[in-house]
């Protein structure tokens, strides 16, 4: 039976090759002062920066820049961003980049008018904002996180080596997001495939929970098959517009909360991967890829029926002549073969994790209860060791 739920998504999306033009429709809704948030400067090389700045100027906006958002935005960077936004009296935070820029913008949005340290309030005590929230808009240049249409924001604290996400309420969702698949085509291939795996794992984290046959699972299977099919095209031809646009759209639907409705959801792969990322600063999608198979192999006996369904419905494996365990494992084997074709990292050691880090990473791993098996700390250690 599908569980009871509510659903609302407040983000307005503009999708396609001409989508940036709609920034002209959104900007008049906000005040004069805009903080332009971006990363390492790739948007200045591919022309996106100039195009955005022209539209901002045409709309009479007073713009201050907040560049240098790193792939794993830090609590120190967050505090710097809050200072910039306060001094500029920001009316709108406009994030131009990938999921890290979008996450960072949302974290700044709830912190500008907060009189406490944002890391302590939102990422240690996990409290909700009680202050005015500065609106966020996103112009996406990388597909993967789905941050353009959700209220999540992941921040890393280098002092404690913790990488933590906070899923805020709907009021923190971007007011609008602009998705032009062409903007993603200048990404290096490694970043593209890391984003693809991030998309796929977002779907898995929601799919591998509960035993019910429901619409959420049907949607998840369709999305997974689309990601698999289009990823194989994109790694051969990264400029295939149809493949890249399908991947971008799937990324949004993978984590805009729709397919989680009626599901308990299991985010342990993210907890394991984020904990490893806090120690290594490795690319998010790659940390997920490194821990996924060991985790899913470990919990497979506890969610056997869903792993069987995964094998048949997603990977097209014929069940004839196979035991339940053989069929379920064949699905994970097919997933592993696809991951190898993508070229994602399959071990934490490739990302810089060493045996002496395992205990610390285990301590930094939040243990959640939504999956088929609630892990003990010893089981976390075992899975991490299998991931090395």
315 Cβ neighbours under 8 A, 6+ residues apart? 330, 331, 334, 335
* Integer Cα distance of 324 and 40 in angstroms: 48
For the chain, percent of residues with pLDDT exceeding 90: 95
Inter-axis angle of helices 215-236 and 241-254, to 10 degrees? 150
Q: Give Rg (Cα) of the chain.
A: 20
pLDDT in tens, 173-212: 999 999 999 999 989 999 999 999 999 999 999 999 987 7
Quick one: 135 exposed, middle or buried, by C-beta within 10 A (0-12, 13-18, 19+)?
A: buried
* pLDDT value, residue 4: 81
Query: 189-387 — its CATH code?
Result: 1.20.1090.10
pLDDT in tens, 133-168: 999 999 999 999 999 999 999 999 999 999 999 999
For residue 221, which phi and psi values (nearest 5 degrees)?
-65, -40
Q: Thinking of the domain 12-183, which architecture would CATH place it in? A: 3-Layer(aba) Sandwich (3.40)
Give 324: exposed, middle or buried? Use CB within 10 Å, 0-12, 13-18, 19+. middle
Q: Are 165 and 198 in contact (CB under 8 A)?
A: no
The half-sphere exposure of 318 on its side-chain side, counting CA atoms within 13 A, is: 2
Between CA 150 and CA 11 the distance in angstroms is: 8
- Which of the four pLDDT bands, split at 50, 70 and 90, describes residue 2? low
The residues near 345 (Cβ < 8 Å, ≥ 6 apart) are 282, 286, 287, 289, 290, 351
Q: Which helix (H) or strand (E) holds 139?
A: strand 136-140
Q: Which residue has the tokens 């920034």?
A: 23
pTM: 0.95
CA atoms of 343 and 171, how far apart (whole Å): 37
Is the predicted pLDDT of residue 240 greater than 80, yes or no?
A: yes
Residue matched to tokens 């994109």: 234
Amino acid 211: pLDDT? 73
Each residue of 15-51: b (16+ CB within 10 Å) or e?
Answer: beeebbebbeebbeebeebbbbbbbeebbeebebbeb
Q: In the chain, which residues fall in CATH 1.20.1090.10?
A: 189-387
Average pLDDT of every residue of the chain: 96
Nearest to 29 by CA among 178, 170, 175, 173: 175
Cα dist from 214 to 166, 173, 182, 263, whole Å: 27, 27, 35, 9
| Confidence bin at 5 (pLDDT 50/70/90) | confident
Residue for token digits 């503009």?
Answer: 14
- pLDDT tens digits for range 186-196: 899 999 999 99
Residues of the chain with CATH 3.40.50.1970: 12-183
């Amino acid at each position: 039976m599908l569980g009871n739920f509510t659903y609302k998504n407040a983000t307005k999306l503009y999708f396609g090759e001409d989508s940036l033009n709609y920034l002209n429709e959104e900007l008049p809704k906000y005040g004069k002062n805009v903080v332009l948030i971006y990363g390492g400067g790739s948007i200045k090389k591919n022309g996106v920066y100039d195009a955005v700045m022209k539209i901002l100027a045409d709309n009479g906006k007073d713009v201050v820049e907040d560049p240098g958002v790193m792939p794993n935005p830090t609590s120190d960077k967050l505090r710097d961003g809050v200072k910039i936004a306060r001094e500029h009296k920001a009316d709108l935070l406009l994030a131009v980049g990938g999921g890290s820029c979008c996450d960072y913008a949302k974290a700044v949005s709830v912190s500008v008018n907060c009189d406490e340290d944002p890391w302590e309030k939102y990422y240690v005590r996990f409290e909700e904002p009680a202050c005015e929230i500065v609106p966020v808009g996103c112009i996406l240049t990388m597909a993967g996180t789905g941050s353009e249409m959700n209220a999540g924001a992941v921040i890393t604290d280098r002092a404690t080596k913790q990488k933590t996400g906070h899923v805020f309420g709907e009021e923190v969702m971007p007011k609008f997001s602009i998705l032009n698949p062409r903007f993603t085509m200048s990404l290096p291939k490694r970043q593209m495939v890391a984003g693809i795996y991030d998309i796929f794992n977002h779907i898995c984290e929601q799919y591998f929970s509960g035993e019910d046959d429901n619409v959420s699972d049907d949607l998840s299977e369709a999305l997974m098959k689309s990601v698999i099919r289009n990823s194989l095209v994109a790694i051969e031809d990264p400029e295939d517009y149809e493949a890249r646009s399908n991947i971008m759209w799937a990324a949004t639907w993978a984590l805009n909360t729709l397919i989680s409705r009626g599901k308990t959801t299991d985010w342990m792969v993210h907890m394991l991967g984020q904990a490893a990322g806090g120690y290594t600063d490795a690319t998010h999608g790659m940390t997920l890829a490194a821990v996924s198979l060991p985790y899913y192999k470990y919990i497979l006996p506890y969610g056997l029926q869903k792993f069987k369904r995964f094998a048949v419905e997603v990977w097209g494996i014929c069940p004839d002549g196979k035991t339940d365990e053989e069929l379920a494992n064949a699905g994970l084997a097919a997933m592993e073969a696809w991951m190898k074709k993508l070229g994602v990292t399959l071990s934490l050691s490739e990302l810089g994790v060493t045996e002496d880090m395992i205990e610390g990473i285990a301590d930094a791993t939040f243990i959640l209860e939504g999956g088929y098996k609630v892990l003990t700390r010893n089981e976390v250690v075992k899975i991490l060791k299998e991931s090395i």
